[in-house]
Amino acid sequence: MVPLFLSVKSATKVLTLSFIGIPYGGMKTAFIILCLLVATHSMGRPISYVGGHTIMANSGPQSDGVYWHYTPNINYSLGLDYQRDKISDESFSSARLTYLINRKNTAKSQRNLYLKTGVGLNDSDNHFYALTGDWETRRVFAGFSATQTSGIGYDMFEQTLKVGIAPYLGAYGDFHTWLMVETKKNDMDDDRITYPVLRFFKGGALMEVGYHKKTDWNLHLMYRF
């Protein structure tokens, strides 16, 4: 079954216009629906507050998918995702677990280290393990990930690094913007790619969009409730 997904380009255009022009109150429902339509393998905030639900959608060079997770405890979240693996051209569902290995809160910063894993519900040959971490203040962000992914007929190890800065410090409830740069490399491709990323969020909704001429658009949507 081939899911009906919006293309990344059309979704980006819709969201750009929406974030700029449409009142926020009218965005929530549309945002959730859009998350469900734009599918990908996500990398956003992996653990929410206790009792919180998060729905994410990503579109990138490796896969498209949609991911839901629930946080029963501050130390872990459980979730399900559905993704289309562009490398193996397979679509499948996975169960996922994210575990908070370590967190350090200070008055002005937070640092996190997570272990993530997922396994295909119908075929355990589809699975991944990842170690991710981040450190941020209200002004600066730095994050990394190291992911081992196994799909039908391939194995891939990928490393990413992302840094960002907030050009202005918004108050709680404001529309927030981050300017970021992400660099990634995997062992299936000799080239390292580095590209700009814009992150926007307001309330419980977040959008991240990046572009590189080799991989085209990367889009990440998230809604927390």
Residues of this chain that bind another protein (CB under 8 A): 12, 16, 19-20, 45, 47-52, 74, 100, 103, 105-110, 136-138, 167-177, 179, 196, 198, 200-204, 206, 209, 211, 217, 224
Instruction: Report the nearest approach of another protein to the CB of residue 188 (Å).
Output: 25
**What span, in angstroms and rounded, lies between the C-alpha atoms of 172 and 183?**
30
| Residue type at position 114 | Y
Between 92 and 114, whose beta carbon lies closer to another protein? 114
Smallest distance from the beta carbon of 193 to another protein, in angstroms? 14
Greatest Cα-to-Cα distance within the chain, rounded to the nearest angstrom: 49
Give me the least distance between CB of 107 and another protein, in Å please: 6
Q: Would you say 1 or 49 has its CB closer to another protein?
A: 49
d(CA 63, CA 129): 16
CB of 73 to another protein, least distance (A): 9
Smallest separation (angstroms) from another protein to the CB of 77: 11
10 versus 109: smaller Cβ distance to another protein = 109
User: Is 63 in contact with 152 (CB distance < 8 Å)?
Assistant: no
| C-beta of 25 vs 51, nearer to another protein | 51
Cβ distance to another protein smaller for residue 108 or 122: 108
Tell the smallest beta-carbon distance from residue 60 to another protein (Å): 15
Closer CB to another protein, 144 or 217, in the complex: 217
